[in-house]
Amino acid sequence: MQLLRSKPSVVGVTPSATEATTTKVQGATQETPVTFTPGKATIGTAEKSVPMDPASYKLLGGQEGKTPLDTVPAMSEDGTKEVGNYTIKVVDGKTSCNIYTNR
């Protein structure tokens, strides 16, 4: 009996998201939908889509912007003052970015 050995390879994919904007006045809690597009990879000759689990979405923050967090600071346009915070909310598989302001 001959044993076949194989070495799996991992192919990375990069999902994308639409830019979200709001038009409410500063100081009001703002909520806007964010649409994530699954990443794609070519396996052999076939293009495969890699879906994302909405429950796994995380904001990234910290000093280098690579630490998964539940909340990250919302900064003023010039980046000098914290004016609120961002959170992600998933309801019925749909994602929104919430901006809660301190003012």
Could you read off the pLDDT of 72-93 as tens digits, one per residue?
888 888 989 888 888 888 777 7
pLDDT of 103 > 60? The answer is: no
pTM: 0.62
Retrieve residue 3's tokens.
């044993």
Mean pLDDT, residues 38-49 taken together: 89
| Residues 41/47, Cβ–Cβ less than 8 Å | yes
Query: What DSSP string describes 62-97?
Result: TTTT-EEESEEEEEPTTSSSEEEEEEEEEETTEEEE
Retrieve residue 41's tokens.
């990879």
Could you read off the pLDDT of 15-35 as tens digits, one per residue?
888 777 777 777 778 888 777
